A and B are shown apart, each in its own frame.
Chain A
């Protein structure tokens, strides 16, 4: 599904990803943890196609295709979804209009018939229930005046609408209260399927109690420096990152 090999990326001459490799198979859930500034959001941005980053080495295959060769909108239509760490507010653009356009473009790309207005509304009501998103929010301008938690829920709502094959969630859990965390986690779990994979970027083991990962990785200085199963997250929760940093820095 997702195959990243030796990925290097920089921004304004600052190297951030330095030879990152990761394999995600269909249906798997991978958690990526790591200290602040280690490059987690950068990885997510590079995968989603943000142009500010320059990829200097490595390759990324997504469902057998060269991901780095695709424009951001093509990546999305091909089934990649990034739930942003900081979703932007877009005043005046209604969530509904925007999603209607997004769903239409994706279906067209996949050679599917466009949804009728009625089918679209049905999809909206079904998917907004999934994340218990107030119908009012769906009708408002994209993220405008949404609380931090509402923005995150809106991201998961959009993900549910677009039904990606790979969901990358960048700290979707941060800023959520306990109830919202459970709602978001339930939403993600409901979307889990043998064909759909997730990459969860998080700082907190707590999320992983709700969405149980198959693998946990530690990203440090632009590389995956340690991988394990969900027990690794518990160990990190207990011991912090120092022991890993020391291990890595000793070999550097």
Chain B
């Protein structure tokens, strides 16, 4: 049941073996190349370490310890995805009317044209396509927790999630990514979210993998008028993490908030590419990404805000702030504002610096060890982002994990 996918020569996985190859996507993929640092969008993010491995689609491991990603003191519906495949036996799905969860068979998946290699790769060998539809006006009584766990040798997991939230509905999602620490995995997950008119949706992503793991997230969000949407991308751990988040504001009076924190260390890389499209008037977007980089880690932030001609009275705020805790850590931050409307309020800022020496000395002069002083300051820095996580149990979980990793101090 295992097939190998290698660099640029993706061995055809027969339909008879996995019945999952999308031939249209595969045909396009064959014409494409892995991105290199010569591509503007991949200038600082190397894919070489992924391409040199042979990845395999592996079946669900029924004993995979996905429970380690559960959040204490939180009632949720759970959708478990092991090695990129929906594991229904372990999932607890909502039963109330107005919430439909199903999988889309490979033959029903529509292959469009793909913007980039990872998207084509994901579509060609999609391991599972799950669809969650929440009908108009449904107020979910608890969040849906999507748990991805990779367990196996060189696992390739490529699920697609499609979430449709109807008009005036209210829903929140938590998505966790984890893996077995001793093995390597490559996750390439596609997410499509449609937020209906006047709907209220929050989405917290918790990326908590290991140094051996690669994770690509491609998040496409469409928001209809008068809706509210918040997405928090919290990268706790993982060797190579790239988030591509595209939010399209497709109506007036939308409130969108996108926040993220990343704390790479050792040789880790975290790359956040975001794009917010303001297409209509009277929308607000708020974006805050903060990074704390240690050892020889690399951070990338590329934040595009595109205010279209008709998007008058837009209010767009973007901020990226980084602290380098080591001389060898590297941050590449690039805000990009394109504004075509004239009556707008847009602000952006990008800072990368060291911890404030004056503050460090002040705390030490009160008896705090340099370690504790540093952690108090870095905690304050990251809290700005964590404060955007509305769900207290989720926030507590993330804080506890960051403390466990010795990164924060509460």
Contacts and interface: CB of A to CB of B under 8 A. Distances in A.
Given A73-B370, A105-B369, A105-B372, A88 B362 contact: yes
Nearest to B363: A98
Given A90-B359, A92-B383, A92-B384, A72 B376 contact: no
A87 interface: yes
A29 B367 CA distance: 23
Given A50-B361, A72-B361, A87-B362, A92 B380 contact: yes
A84 B362 contact: yes
Contacts of A72: 361, 364-365
Interface residues of B, number: 23
B367 A102 contact: yes
Contacts of A105: 367-369, 372
Given A72-B364, A97-B376, A102-B367, A88 B358 contact: yes
B366 A158 contact: yes
B358 A102 contact: no
Contact of B368 (A49, A91, A98, A141): A98
Contacts of B358: 88
Contact of B376 (A71, A84, A93): A93
B215 to A, nearest CB: 29
A109 interface: yes
A82 interface: yes
B365 A82 contact: yes
Contacts of B367: 73, 76-77, 102, 105-106, 109, 162
Contacts of B369: 73, 105
A87 B362 CA distance: 8
A91 B358 CA distance: 13
A88 B383 CA distance: 20
B140 interface: no
Nearest to B361: A50
Nearest to A108: B367
Given A88-B358, A88-B359, A92-B383, A76 B366 contact: yes
A27 to B, nearest CB: 23
Contact of A76 (B365, B377, B380): B365
A72 B362 CA distance: 9
B149 interface: no
Contacts of A162: 366-367
A97 B372 CA distance: 11
A6 to B, nearest CB: 24
Interface in A65-90: 71-73, 75-77, 82, 84, 87-88, 90
B368 A101 contact: yes
Contacts of A99: 366
Contact of B364 (A71, A91, A141): A71
A48 interface: yes
Given A88-B358, A92-B381, A92-B384, A49 B376 contact: no
B135 to A, nearest CB: 41
A162 B376 CA distance: 19
Interface string B335-378: 00000000000000000000010110111111111101100110
A77 B383 CA distance: 28
A90 B365 contact: no
A93 B366 CA distance: 14
B376 A98 contact: yes
B364, B365, B372: residue with the most chain A Cβ atoms closer than 10 Å: B365
B366 A98 contact: yes
Interface in A199-226: none
A155 B372 CA distance: 20
Contact of A48 (B356, B365, B372, B410): B365
Contacts of A101: 368, 372, 376
Nearest to A159: B366
Nearest to A144: B380
A90 B377 contact: yes
A164 to B, nearest CB: 10
Given A88-B358, A88-B359, A92-B383, A73 B376 contact: no
A-B complex: 8 closest residue pairs judged by Cβ atoms: A92-B380, A76-B367, A72-B364, A102-B366, A73-B364, A93-B380, A102-B367, A88-B358
16 contacts: A49-B365, A72-B361, A73-B370, A76-B364, A76-B367, A77-B367, A88-B356, A88-B359, A90-B380, A92-B383, A93-B363, A97-B376, A102-B363, A105-B369, A109-B367, A162-B366
Given A99-B366, A109-B367, A142-B362, 6 more contacts: A73-B367, A90-B363, A93-B380, A97-B376, A101-B376, A102-B367
